[in-house]
Structure 1
Amino acid sequence: MSSTPSADRPTETERDDGAGPSVPPGPTDQDLQVLLKQLGNLVTPMAVRVAATLRLVDHLRDGATTVGLLAARTGAHEPTLARLVRHLTAVGVLAGDGEDGTLRPTRVGLLLADDHPAQQRSWLDLHGAVAHADLAFTGLLDAVRTGRPAYQHRYGRPFWEDLSDKQELADSFDALMSCDEDLAYDAPAAALDWTATRHVLDVGGGNGALLIAVARAAPEVRGTLVELPGPAARARRRFTEAGLDDRFTVVDGSFFDPLPATADTVVLSFVLLNWSDEEASAVLRRGVEALEPGGRLVVLDRADRAGDGADRFFSTLLDLRMLVFMGGRVRTRDEVIRLAADAGLVLAAESGSGSRTLPFDFSILEFVLAPVPPPSAKEE
C-alpha cells in the first residue's frame, strides 16, 4: 500500500465507517520531498559540527547572546557567523534572532554544551578524531564501489596509523572511548570466567581499559597487551597510574605479525569490526598461533542488530563508519563464527547482546581450537 494519499483514503475529517475515530492523513508528496531534503543535505550536519567546534552553546550560556558577541568570542567573521546562526535556528538548534540579546540554545542545542554527559560536542568537534574522520564520508561513493576505506585516500595514511602518530587525535579518541568506560569493560570482564586463566594476551588492547577491568574481576590474572606505539605508550601510563605495571606488560607491535607472547586466554576486544574479512581472518590466525594448548580465544565486539528503530539506525551508522574509516564492518554472530572456523576455531560459549550482563550491543564469543580429526585408514 502506498504511503501517499489516494482518492479512496479517508481525509482527516472522514471516518472509516461513519462512527469510528478520525484517520490521520498520510504524508503528502511535498512532506516526503522535505523529508528527503532533510535526509540528503550535507549543510545541516556540517553546520552543527561547526557550532560544536566553535563551542557556540557554551559561549551562549556564558553570556555571549548576540552574533556580535559570539563572533568576538570565537574569532569568526561576524556576517558569515550570522548566516550560520540563521540555519541553526531554522533547524531548531538555536532560538531567537541574536539581534536583541535573545539568542539561546534550544533543548536540542543544549546537548552541544561541553559539560553535557552525552559528550555530543566532543563527538562532533571537527578537531576531534571521529568528526575529523567523518569528513572522509565525501569518499563514500568510492568506498562503496571498491570496498576500501576512504580515510586513507583523504588523509594519506590509515586511520590507526594517523591516531598513533597524532597526539591531538589520539587524545580525543581516547576521551571519546572512555565515555561509559566502566560500563563498557567491567560488564564483559565480569561476565567471563577467569578461574582457568593464568595469562591473558590482549591483542590490539588500546589504552589498556579492558585489562584494568580484568584486574578488578580477577586479581590473580597477569597479562600482556600488544598495540601500536602510540596507544601502547598510553597503556603503559595507565597501568603505572593504576599500580598494575607489575602485572601487565605492554609490547609495541602489530597483530598482523607474529605475537610476542603466548597465553591461555587471547582476547580480541573491539578489533575485528575494524577490518575487512581478509584482514580479520589474518588477525584471528595470529591469535590462534599464540594460543596455548587447552586455551580459549575471546572475541568481544559489537553485534549487528536486527530489527528496526534506533537499534538498527545506530548499528548501520557504525557499520558505514567502519567501512569509511578502516574498511571494516559490523558482523553478525554467524559471520564471526565462520571467520573463526576458517582460522581453526569452534564456538565454545557465548553471551549475546540480549544478555542482561552485557551493555549496549556487545557480544562475547569464546572459541577453542577445533579438534583434529583422527587419521583415516587410508592415511594409516
Structure 2
Amino acid sequence: MKAKPCENILGLAMGSEQSRLRQQLVAASMGMVTTHVLGVCVQLKICDLLRDEPLAISELARVTGTQPEPLRELLIILASLDVVTIEEEAVALKPSGRLLLADQTGNVVQWVQYAAEFCAPAWMELADVLLGIPPAAGSKRRIYDALSSKRYPAEIFHGAMQDTQVEISATLAEAIRLNPGEVVADLGAGQSSFLIELLMRYPNTSAIAFDRFSDFTAMKQLAHAQGVAGRLQTIRGSFLDPLPFRVDVIVFKNVLADWSMEHLKRILTMARQGLNPDGRMYIATTFVHDPPSPDEAVVSLNLRVLTEGGDRSEVDYVAIAKEAGFELTRQERVAAIMILEFSLKGTA
C-alpha cells in the first residue's frame, strides 16, 4: 500500500501500540502539508504542464522557475496523493491529477485554491473562535471583509461555493413550484446555475440573481448557452440592505449559515420587505445531525472560523423567520438537504 504524506514522519518502528498512536497523531498534525502542496501545484500549473506528455523533473523546474530538489520533494508528495507518477525522473499526470486542470469538467481547482488561500490562514485563529475572541481588523477570519477589499479573489470563493451547491440547487429546483409570470430572486446567488435550471423548467417566469461580490460571468455564459439570458437579470448588492426590487419568490441556498442570529434576522426582514403580499420564501440548507457527524462538524467549524455563523438546525431557521414575519408552510427533507418554505404571516 502506498504511503501517504507524513504517515511516518518520525521514522518510528511501529512495533508498539504507543508508537502507532503517536505517529497517527503526528501525521494528523501535519495535515496542512497536503493543503499547501496541492495549492502550490495549482499555483505553478504543474498539471497543466503535464497535460499532454510526461516531463523530466529538470524540465519542470526550468519551466516553473523553481529549484529542482524542493520541486522533486513536492512531486514525490503529489505522487503519494495519486496526482502524478514518477518513473526514472519523468513525471506523468494520473487521472486524478486531471481534476487539477481548470478546463476539466468537474475540476477541483478553485476548491483547492479556496482551501489554501482562504481556509488555511483563517484556521490559524481557531483558538480565538473557541475562546469567543472577535476577529481583529485584517483578520483572516473576516472573509467577507477580505472579499470587499479584494484581498482575496471573489471568483475563487464563488467557484468553490458552486461546488458545494450543485446538489442543493438541483434538489431545490425540483421542490419549488412557480406560477406563470412569477419572478424569483436568488439572494447570495454567486455563480450558481440554480436560476438557469429553474428558468428552463418554467418558461413563462423570470429571475433575478442578487449578490454583493459576484460578477455573474459564469452564470451569464450558461444563461446564454441555455437560451434564457433574456429572462435573467443580475444585480450587485447586499441582502443586509433594503432590496431594490419586489418579487414573488425569494430563495436562500446555503448562505444564511454564514451570519450571526442578529444579522440573520435583518436579512430575513429585508427579504420580507422585498416580497409581494402573496410571496414565498425558500431556505435550502444542508441537514445537520445532532450531534453532528465528523464531516458536518468540520463544515460547521469552518463556517465559524471564516464567518460569524455556523451550521444551524431547521428549528433555528423557523424561529428566526417567525420573528421576521414569516410562517412555515412546508418542510421537506431530501437526502441531506432540508428545504423550508415560508409565506408572509397571515397569508398562508
- TM-score normalised by L of structure 1: 0.72
| Counterpart for residue 131 of structure 1 | 116
Report whether the alignment pairs 1:347 with 2:328: yes
- Cα distance change of structure 1 residues 306 and 109 upon mapping to structure 2, 3 Å threshold: farther
1:1-380 matches, cutoff 5 A: 28-41=17-30, 42-60=32-50, 62-88=52-78, 96=86, 100-101=88-89, 103=91, 112=100, 117-125=105-113, 129-134=114-119, 135-146=121-132, 148=134, 152-154=138-140, 158-160=142-144, 162-163=146-147, 166=150, 169-179=153-163, 184-195=168-179, 198-207=182-191, 209-228=193-212, 230-231=214-215, 239=223, 243-305=227-289, 312-354=293-335, 361-371=336-346
Q: Is the 8 A contact 1:227 1:254 kept in 2?
A: yes
1:369 partner amino acid: L
TM-superposed CA distance for 1:117, in Å, is 4.8
- Structure 2 Cα separation of the partners of residues 77 and 342 of structure 1: 60
TM-superposed CA distance for 1:260, in Å, is 1.6
2:155 partner amino acid: D
- Structure 2 Cα separation of the partners of residues 121 and 236 of structure 1: 21
Structure number with greater Rg is: 1
More deviation in 286-295 or 202-211? Answer: 202-211
TM-superposed CA distance for 1:61, in Å, is 5.7
Q: Is the 8 A contact 1:199 1:222 kept in 2?
A: yes
- Structure 2 Cα separation of the partners of residues 139 and 167 of structure 1: 18
Q: Is the 8 A contact 1:303 1:353 kept in 2?
A: no
Q: How many matched pairs?
A: 330
- Structure 2 Cα separation of the partners of residues 234 and 109 of structure 1: 24
TM-superposed CA distance for 1:298, in Å, is 0.8
- Cα distance change of structure 1 residues 180 and 368 upon mapping to structure 2, 3 Å threshold: closer
| Secondary structure class of the residue paired with 1:219 | coil
Q: Is the 8 A contact 1:53 1:124 kept in 2?
A: no
TM-superposed CA distance for 1:114, in Å, is 5.4
2:277 partner amino acid: P
TM-superposed CA distance for 1:347, in Å, is 1.6
TM-superposed CA distance for 1:182, in Å, is 6.5
- Structure 1 Cα separation of the partners of residues 94 and 84 of structure 2: 5
* Aligned Cα root-mean-square deviation (Å): 3.7
| Secondary structure class of the residue paired with 2:299 | helix
Q: Which ranges in structure 1 are unaligned for 5 or more consecutive residues?
A: 1-26, 355-360, 373-380
Q: Is the 8 A contact 1:266 1:296 kept in 2?
A: yes
- Cα distance change of structure 1 residues 351 and 106 upon mapping to structure 2, 3 Å threshold: same
Q: Is the 8 A contact 1:65 1:102 kept in 2?
A: yes
- Structure 1 Cα separation of the partners of residues 202 and 324 of structure 2: 28
| Secondary structure class of the residue paired with 2:321 | helix
Q: Which ranges in structure 2 are unaligned for 5 or more consecutive residues?
A: 1-15
Percent identity of equivalent pairs: 24
Q: Is the 8 A contact 2:257 2:303 kept in 1?
A: yes
| Secondary structure class of the residue paired with 1:260 | coil
- Cα distance change of structure 1 residues 152 and 234 upon mapping to structure 2, 3 Å threshold: farther
- Structure 1 Cα separation of the partners of residues 246 and 270 of structure 2: 11
More deviation in 113-122 or 292-301? Answer: 113-122
| Secondary structure class of the residue paired with 1:39 | helix
| Secondary structure class of the residue paired with 1:231 | coil
- Structure 1 Cα separation of the partners of residues 230 and 287 of structure 2: 34
| Counterpart for residue 10 of structure 2 | none
TM-superposed CA distance for 1:215, in Å, is 0.8
- Structure 1 Cα separation of the partners of residues 337 and 196 of structure 2: 18
